[in-house]
Structure 1
Amino acid sequence: MRHAFGFVLGVLLTPALVYGSAWGYVQAGQSFDGTGQAITDRTRIYGAFALLAAVGLVMGVIIVARWASPLVSLVPAFALLGLSAWFLADPGRALDLPGQVPPAGDLDSGLRMLLGSGVYAMMGFALLMPAWAPRRWGSGRDEDAAGFDF
Structure 2
Amino acid sequence: MRHLAGLLIGLVVTAAVLGGGGWAVQQAVGNAAANPPDNQRMWIALGAMAAVGLVVGLVTAGRISPLATFVPSMVLLAWTVVYALDVNRALSLIPSEPSVNQIVRDAGFGAKTLLTTGVYALLGVALFIPVLMPSRWSRRHDDLDEEYETTPEGSYY
Aligned match of 1:78: 74
1:50 aligns with 2:47: yes
Query: Residues 90-110 of structure 1: CA distance to partner in whole angstroms, max 9, x if unpaired?
Result: 110101111269545333321
Alignment coverage as a number of residue pairs: 140
- TM-score, normalised by the number of residues in structure 1: 0.85
Query: Residues 63-122 of structure 1: CA distance to partner in whole angstroms, max 9, x if unpaired?
Result: 1112x0000000000010001001001110101111269545333321211111111111
Aligned match of 2:152: none
Equivalent position amino acid for 2:131 in 1: A
Query: Which whole-Å CA distance do the structure 1 matches of 2:56 and 2:65 have between them?
Result: 14
Describe how 1:112-131 pairs up with structure 2 within 5 A: 112-131=112-131
SS at match of 2:65: coil
Aligned match of 2:148: none
Give the 3 Å change call, closer, same or farther, for CA 33–2 of structure 1 in structure 2. Answer: same
Per mean C-alpha deviation after superposition, the further-off stretch among 20-29 and 7-16 is 7-16
CA RMSD of aligned residues (A): 2.0
Query: Which whole-Å CA distance do the structure 2 matches of 1:139 and 1:39 have between them?
Result: 53
Query: Which whole-Å CA distance do the structure 1 matches of 2:36 and 2:21 have between them?
Result: 20
Describe how 1:1-150 pairs up with structure 2 within 5 A: 1-33=1-33, 40-66=37-63, 68-99=64-95, 103=101, 104-140=104-140, 142=141, 144-145=142-143
Query: Residues 37-61 of structure 1: CA distance to partner in whole angstroms, max 9, x if unpaired?
Result: x861000000000100111111111
SS at match of 2:95: helix
Query: Which whole-Å CA distance do the structure 2 matches of 1:64 and 1:114 have between them?
Result: 23
- TM-score, normalised by the number of residues in structure 2: 0.81
Unaligned runs of 5+ in 1: none
* 2:76–2:120 contact (8 Å) kept in structure 1: yes
Query: Which whole-Å CA distance do the structure 2 matches of 1:100 and 1:27 have between them?
Result: 16
Q: Specify the structure having the higher radius of gyration (Cα).
A: 2
Identity of aligned residues (%): 36
Query: Which whole-Å CA distance do the structure 1 matches of 2:106 and 2:96 have between them?
Result: 13
Query: Which whole-Å CA distance do the structure 2 matches of 1:39 and 1:65 have between them?
Result: 41
